[in-house]
Amino acid sequence: MADNPIRVLIAKPGLDGHDRGAKVVALALRQAGFEVIYSGLHRTVEEIVQAAAQEDVAVLGLSVLSGAHLPIAQKLMGRLRQLGFQPVVLFGGNIPRADIEALGALGVEGVFPTGSRFDDIASFIRQRVGTESAAAGRDRRR
Amino acid sequence: MSDRLEEVTLESGISVKPVYRPQDLAGTDPDLDIGLPGEYPFTRGIHPLMYRARPYTMRQYAGFGTPEETNQRFKFLIEQGQTALNVAFDLPTQMGLDSSDPLAEGEVGRVGMAVDTLADMEVAFAGIPIDRISVSLTVNAVAAPIMAMYFVVAENYGVPLAEVRGTAQNDILKEYIGRGAWIFPVEPAVRLIGDTIEYCCRNAPKYYPVSVCGYHIRESGANPVQEIAYAFCIAREYIRGGIKRGLAVDEFAERISFNFDIHGNLFEQVAKFRAARRLWARIMRQEFAAQEPGSLKLKMIAGGGGSGLTIEQPENNIVRGAYYALISALSGAQTMALCSYDEAYTIPTEKAALISLRTMQILVEEMGLRDTVDPLAGSYYVEWLTSQLEDRILQELRRVDSSWGGILRAVERGLVQQEVAGQAWQHEVGIQRGTIPKVGVNRYRMQEELRQVELHPYRPEQAEASVRRTARVKAERDPERVEAALRGLRQAAADGTNVMPAALEAVRAYATLGEMTGVLREVFGVFKEPVAL
């Protein structure tokens, strides 16, 4: 796996500037052997989608602490569908347990609220992306 | 000493001995280093009688979607005995966007009140005795226009500018390190801070234009030494800016206050604040040749930090909050605030905010914390630790100056950000591995049911109401006056004259925050974030 690491984009959508969680998860995933790109702050959904497609990432993780996760997820998933580019989408941050189901219904595959364990995030990604598709050049275009 | 004893190392890297003795204070001079409360170097507090004369100010952060709701919460808090207000603005406002801006979609009124124009501020402060209640504005990148709005509200109330009290957070350098509500590049952003300091010094001398925040730096991952060291580097930068404008240090330094964070080891935090007061007095005297006692005194809000709280077993956070308040009182803070127990989930509910307020009131009323000043003074451990922390803060401060070329460069190049993020990661690893104990998380964990927490659902109609109000304001204002005022603001921004008079005129003309910020963005550009991890 070290030869062909899974590519992950960790992104901060919208105006929320609390990036401790995003950076910490990015560092943890890098430590766990993933190839991690971090978007920086204040990205629009469109910028994030473009960056994800351009970098051809297998995983797109968004960190939201402002409470705006549902409208952001809605916009993001719609745009990804339009482009026919569908990485494994994860959400993290200050997300009430009650909203996890709604995010799932929008197509978000994993939700890791504040306090989630790095190991859980890493093994979730490995399981979802699978060593097979990682070896096949991470091509998740459908 | 038994070799079965485990090493104890504080977050600051200081090893703690099992027992402290008088000889541990050999390097600490009781007169020169500790002294008396209210006297240089103010280790024991900045006032001779501290809480015996007047308890700490209690100032919970509050602000809701609409100016009307914010106004109601303010009135509620004042009725409950809160003695000052701390205004939360929504993210579009903090980023200088009007409610109608496409980038504001889904964010209007979410984490605080939405302000587009003076009209919103008029509603928020209607019936609030702003001549008596000190108001703190939690705004940074657009502090100049928001401060201008507040000044015009006061003006319309008949409170002369020279009498206006209150504070603005207005510390942009820390926004690049933590919190992230920056817009402009570092240099012009810092210049705007200088404009507000200069303007207030000459026109609103009772107003505190800047509250330098170690708080958010620590919340982003800094250890207690770095929290103070980076905040001091930032404050020195603003002070140099004031001096460059021809102000004498003693004319304005008194009006720069600090906002610090509390979580972690009790004694380390108390010693941190005592060390910070002493070192700040020494810096002001030695580096800036300040003479006035007011310039030498470190005034601070020290508040219970959110990063010490846990999602797990949230009621435990009430207990943590009480300990944080105790630390704040033992540290001689001027103002206290607490993150509320539900803050890991949501903006505090009224109930949670009230428990925080009562926590602080119980300390004042029941626990004897007002009886005598700096009760931990003279403790071998606390005095030793205070001296250790002072040394380490000074070393870190020198490192910023010598290795990083000062805080401005360090922030521009992302060096502080990288350092702080790396530590945040290490801290989290420590919690996940259980080497940093956290009750309910890696100790005494329980199976918890899915919790029904009272949340503040997003209401799109709030955004619509805000957009409608602004549309009405725009229809009624004098477009030529607005145009001229924005031209004046652009001119001031471009030619380096103080932007405050032009911002005040734009506010009076009911220019929107988005229009004013847009003008400044045209002149200054935007910050390019260094995203290296």
Residues of A in contact with B529 (CB under 8 A): 40-41
In CATH terms, the superfamily for domain A7-133 is: Cobalamin-binding domain (3.40.50.280)
Alpha carbons B513 and B98: distance in angstroms, whole number? 6
Please compute the mean of the pLDDT values over residues B142-154 and round it to a whole number: 98
Which B-chain residues 484-503 have CB contacts (< 8 A) with chain A?
A: none
- pLDDT band of residue B455 (cuts 50, 70, 90) is low
Higher-pLDDT residue of B229, B86? B229
- B192 CB-contact burial (10 Å; exposed 0-12 / middle 13-18 / buried 19+): buried
Alpha carbons B444 and A31: distance in angstroms, whole number? 28
Interchain proximity A24–B453, CB inside 8 Å: no
* Percentage, residues of chain B above pLDDT 90: 84
Radius of gyration of chain B (CA): 23
A24, A26, A72 ranked by CB distance to B106: nearest: A72
Contact B461, B333 (CB under 8 A): no
pLDDT of residue A135: 46
From A23's Cα to the closest Cα of chain B, the distance in A is 6
At residue B213, φ and ψ (nearest 5 deg) are: -110, 100
pLDDT of residue B525: 98
pLDDT of residue B451: 64
Interchain proximity B453–A96, CB inside 8 Å: yes
Task: Say if B423 is an interface residue toward chain A (CB within 8 Å).
Answer: no
Contact B137, B100 (CB under 8 A): no
* Nearest residue on chain B to A18, alpha-carbon basis: B179
Residue owning tokens 């960790």? A10
How many residues does this entry show for chain B?
A: 533
Average pLDDT value over all residues in chain B: 94
B283 closest CA partner among B240, B223, B312? B240
SS3 A138: coil
Alpha carbons A133 and A59: distance in angstroms, whole number? 12
- pLDDT band of residue A33 (cuts 50, 70, 90) is very high
Contact B157, B131 (CB under 8 A): yes
- pLDDT band of residue A66 (cuts 50, 70, 90) is confident
pLDDT of residue B450: 62
Interchain proximity A66–B110, CB inside 8 Å: yes
pLDDT of residue B353: 87
pLDDT of residue A138: 46
Chain segment B392-440, per-residue pLDDT in tens: 999 999 999 999 999 999 999 999 999 999 999 999 999 999 999 999 9
Residues of A in contact with B425 (CB under 8 A): 23-24, 27-28
- pLDDT band of residue A98 (cuts 50, 70, 90) is confident
DSSP classification of residue B443: B
Alpha carbons B97 and B512: distance in angstroms, whole number? 9
pLDDT of residue B459: 82
* Structural fold of domain B22-433: TIM Barrel (3.20.20)
Tell which of A12, A20, A117 to mutate to test the B interface (max B CBs under 10 Å): A20
pLDDT of B191 strictly over 60:
yes
Which of A94-98, B392-396, B476-480, B509-513 is the least confident region?
A94-98
DSSP classification of residue A41: S
B107, B178, B429 ranked by CB distance to A14: nearest: B107
Chain segment B485-502, per-residue pLDDT in tens: 999 999 999 999 999 999
At residue B450, φ and ψ (nearest 5 deg) are: -60, 125
pLDDT of residue A1: 46
Task: Say if A63 is an interface residue toward chain B (CB within 8 Å).
Answer: no
B179, B428, B441 ranked by CB distance to A17: nearest: B179
Residues of B in contact with A44 (CB under 8 A): 103
Q: Where are the domains of chain B?
A: 22-433, 465-524
pLDDT of residue B3: 62
Higher-pLDDT residue of B211, B306? B211
pLDDT of residue B400: 98
Chain segment B17-35, per-residue pLDDT in tens: 999 999 999 999 999 999 9
The number of angstroms, rounded, from the C-alpha of B326 to the middle of its chain's C-alpha atoms is 19
- pLDDT band of residue B170 (cuts 50, 70, 90) is very high
pLDDT of B51 strictly over 60:
yes
pLDDT of residue A141: 43
CA dist B6 to B1, B2, B3, B18, Å?
A: 11, 9, 8, 10
Tell which of B89, B97, B105, B445 to mutate to test the A interface (max A CBs under 10 Å): B105
* Nearest residue on chain B to A45, alpha-carbon basis: B103
For the record, the structure tokens of B182 come out as 């920056």
pLDDT of A142 strictly over 50:
no
pLDDT of residue B62: 67
Alpha helix segments (H runs only) across B367-499: 380-403, 407-412, 415-433, 460-476, 479-495
pLDDT of residue B266: 98
- Strands lying side by side in the sheet with A59-64: A35-38, A7-11, A59-64, A88-93, A110-113
